[in-house]
Amino acid sequence: MSITSIRTCIACRKSESPTNLLRVVLVDGSVIPDIKGNAQGRGAWLHLQCGYVAIERKAFKWAFKLTEMPDVLALKLFLQEKFTNI
Ligand SMILES: [Zn+2]
């Protein structure tokens, strides 16, 4: 594992390998899970299990340096699907 590939979870601030994190990108004011890992745009990283915490703490607002909370519906649906499939 390369030292340059360490990312920080925006919810718990823990440093982590990207393989253990979900990448999300901001697209037209919406937070979209980057499932393939190659989406264009400003990205942020978080643990899957930190998803709801990130939404609750409005972590995406500061992560993307926004003045308002972005739309997190797509991320919520993604998390719902993930956690009901376990
Ligand atoms: Zn986390």
Give the pLDDT mean for 26-38.
91
**Cβ count near 81 (within 10 Å):** 10
Q: Which residues surround ligand 1, an ion (CB under 5 A)?
A: 9, 11-12, 47, 50
pLDDT of residue 3: 57
* Total residue length of the chain: 86
Q: Report CA(22)–ligand 1 centroid distance (Å).
A: 10
- Classify domain 3-84 at the CATH topology level: Hypothetical Cytosolic Protein; Chain: A; (3.30.1230)
Q: Where are the beta strands (DSSP E) in the chain?
A: 7-8, 15-16, 22-27, 30-33, 43-46
Give the pLDDT mean for 61-70.
95
Intra-chain end-to-end CA distance of the chain, in Å: 27
Q: What angle do CA 15, 81, 12 make, to 5 degrees?
A: 20
The residue ranges of every structural domain in the chain are 3-84
Q: Report CA(24)–ligand 1 centroid distance (Å).
A: 13
Bridge partners for 8 per DSSP: 15
Give the pLDDT mean for 64-69.
95
pTM: predicted TM-score of the whole model, two decimal places: 0.87
pLDDT of residue 85: 65
Residue with tokens 């992560």: 63
